[in-house]
């Protein structure tokens, strides 16, 4: 019996492998033969999934663009106006590594002389342009945006800034390290709330500590600088939140890039699939609550996963307007296979601690999670 091939999954794997090769070698050196070899496919097999190299390059760019948009949706929650624009910009610019930028910039270069690829870029920027304008409109309404320039002009300024930071990150990461990129973005965005021109960036200390030495070095620097400039800061509380956030982001990025993208789905898709695997069929709203996601994000993911044959969508019995999501047999099979890889990667992370340290961390995090759940002053997703 011939082997069944999930064409959408295979196309996603090809796009992901192509993106990695482009980031490492550039578009010209990323040949069809190199892509096939990276995937262990026979030379010429790619034609079963894409008509040519341009279509693969297009898919690689679209994959990066879609992944960025998924991260933005996950992080936004209900944020809008200037806070929403901050989140959007910080997800678009490369802060942890330059991999996405090293895919996007070669794509731009190739699009200069290719009308089909140029149209992909134009469409992508149109999506972002309208999203930025939405943040600005909301900010005008709630008073967080007071820039005198028209929103159309500000939106183009934001796009130009984001594009420029991507170029700096890809071509000069040492000269423009992540901490500086973040300050550039926040200075510009926060300046939109000040009449006249963007607010000035705070002066750099005369003898700053090393902020380019990695994630822990930056965390320590942030704690020192903040408590020096704002002495009333609760350093212990800041350290808890800062370290939790940075470690969590590092773990998620590592798992998504090494396990879930190769499996053909995003981190968000894994969260939804895992929720259905654990809890069984769920109405979309309940699945969103259990997965810690917005209803809109779950609705969009469910359609994509449904098209891939991983999730079934059916009208809810109690309310025909509602939708019940169920993991298919194929979805269960692939989720379980991927989770085995996921858990091995989790074990690699856990192996960075001793058994006693891991037990202590698990206890502390469990205590914090239970205590937070019981507090009515904490905003929980409902």
CB 281 within 8 A of CB 325: yes
Q: How confident is the model at residue 214 (pLDDT cuts 50, 70, 90)?
A: low
Classify strands 282-283 and 311-315 as parallel, antiparallel or unpaired.
unpaired
Q: How far apart are CA 263 and CA 338, in angstroms?
A: 7
Question: Mind listing the pLDDT tens digit for each residue in 180-195?
Answer: 888 888 888 888 885 5
Split at pLDDT 50, 70, 90, the class of 153 is very high
Confidence of residue 135 (pLDDT cuts 50, 70, 90): very high
> What is the C-alpha separation between 125 and 363, in angstroms, rounded?
45
Sorted by sequence, the CB contacts under 8 Å of residue 137 that are 6+ apart come out as 151
Asked, for residue 259, whether it belongs to a domain, the answer is no
pLDDT of res. 6: 61
Least confident of 74-83, 155-164, 260-269: 74-83
- Residue 330 or 381, more confident: 330
Read off φ and ψ for residue 91, nearest 5 degrees: -85, -30
Number of domains in the chain: 3
Looking at the fold, whether 129 and 158 belong to one and the same domain comes out as yes
CA 258/CA 239 separation, integer angstroms: 28
Give domain status of residue 379, yes or no.
Answer: no
Residue 24 maps to a domain: yes
Mean pLDDT confidence for 90-95: 81
Greatest mean pLDDT range, 89-103, 280-294, 325-339: 325-339
Q: Mark whether 181 and 292 lie in a shared domain.
A: no
**Weakest-pLDDT range from 26-30, 180-184, 247-251:** 26-30
Per-residue pLDDT tens digits for 106-122: 778 778 888 888 888 89
Residue 3 pLDDT > 70: no
Q: Residue 260: which region, alpha, beta or left (left: phi > 0; alpha: psi -120 to 50)?
A: alpha
For residue 70, is pLDDT > 90? no
Residues 288 and 362 in one domain: yes
Residue 183 in tokens? 């300050």
Residue 251, token pair as written in the block: 């773990």
| 98 and 185 assigned to the same domain | yes
Give 312's strand partners. 326
Q: Are residue 103 and residue 233 in the same domain, yes or no?
A: no
Do residues 71 and 88 share a domain? yes
Q: Helix (H, G, I), strand (E, B), or coil: what is residue 283?
A: strand
Domain enclosing residue 226, as ranges: 210-247
Kindly state the tokens that stand for 138. Answer: 């909301």
* 297-305: average pLDDT: 86
Q: Which residues are within 8 A (CB) of 52 and not within 5 positions of it... i.e. 6 or more apart?
A: none
Percentage above 70 pLDDT, the chain: 89
Rounded Cα gap, residues 234 and 298, in angstroms = 37
Residue 226 lies in a domain: yes
Is residue 16 predicted with pLDDT exceeding 50? yes
335-347 mean pLDDT: 93
Residue 309 pLDDT grade (very low, low, confident, very high; cuts 50, 70, 90): very high
My answer on whether 217 and 198 are in the same domain is: no
CATH of the domain at 122: 1.10.357.10
8 A C-beta contact, residue 138 and residue 130: no
- Within-domain flag for 237: yes
Residues 221 and 307 in one domain: no
Q: Which residue has the tokens 């999934």?
A: 49
């Amino acid at each position: 019996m011939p082997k069944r091939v999930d064409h959408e999954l295979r196309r996603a794997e090809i796009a992901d492998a192509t993106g990695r090769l482009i980031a490492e070698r550039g578009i010209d050196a990323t040949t069809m033969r190199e892509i096939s070899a990276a995937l262990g496919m026979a030379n010429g097999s790619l034609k079963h999934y894409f008509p040519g190299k341009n279509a693969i390059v297009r898919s690689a760019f679209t994959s990066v663009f879609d992944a960025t948009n998924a991260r933005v949706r996950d992080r936004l929650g209900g944020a809008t106006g200037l806070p929403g624009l901050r989140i959007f910009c910080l997800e678009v610019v490369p802060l942890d590594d330059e991999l996405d930028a090293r895919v996007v910039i070669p794509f731009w270069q190739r699009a200069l002389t290719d009308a089909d690829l140029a149209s992909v870029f134009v469409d992508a920027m149109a999506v972002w342009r309208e999203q930025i304008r939405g943040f600005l409109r909301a900010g005008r309404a709630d008073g967080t945006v007071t820039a005198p320039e028209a929103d159309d002009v500000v939106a183009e300024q934001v796009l130009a800034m984001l594009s420029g930071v991507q170029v700096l990150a890809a071509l000069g990461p040492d000269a423009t390290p992540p901490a500086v990129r973040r300050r550039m973005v926040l200075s510009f965005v926060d300046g939109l709330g000040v009449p006249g021109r963007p607010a000035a960036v705070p002066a750099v200390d005369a003898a700053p500590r090393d902020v380019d030495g990695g994630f822990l070095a930056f965390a320590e620097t942030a704690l020192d600088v903040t408590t020096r400039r704002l002495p009333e800061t609760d350093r212990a509380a800041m350290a808890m939140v800062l370290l939790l956030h940075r470690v969590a982001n590092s773990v998620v990025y590592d798992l998504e890039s090494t396990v879930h993208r190769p499996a053909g789905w995003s981190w968000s898709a894994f969260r939804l699939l895992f929720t259905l695997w654990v809890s069984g069929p769920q109405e979309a709203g309940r699945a969103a609550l259990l997965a810690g996601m917005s209803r809109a994000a779950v609705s969009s993911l469910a359609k994509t996963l449904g098209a891939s044959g991983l999730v079934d969508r059916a009208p809810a019995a109690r309310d025909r307007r509602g939708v019940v999501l169920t993991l298919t047999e194929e979805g269960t099979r692939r989720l379980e296979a991927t989770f085995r890889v996921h858990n091995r990667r989790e074990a690699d992370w856990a192996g960075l601690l001793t058994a006693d340290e891991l037990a202590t961390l698990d206890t502390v995090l469990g205590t914090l999670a239970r205590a937070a759940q019981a507090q009515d002053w904490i905003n929980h997703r409902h």
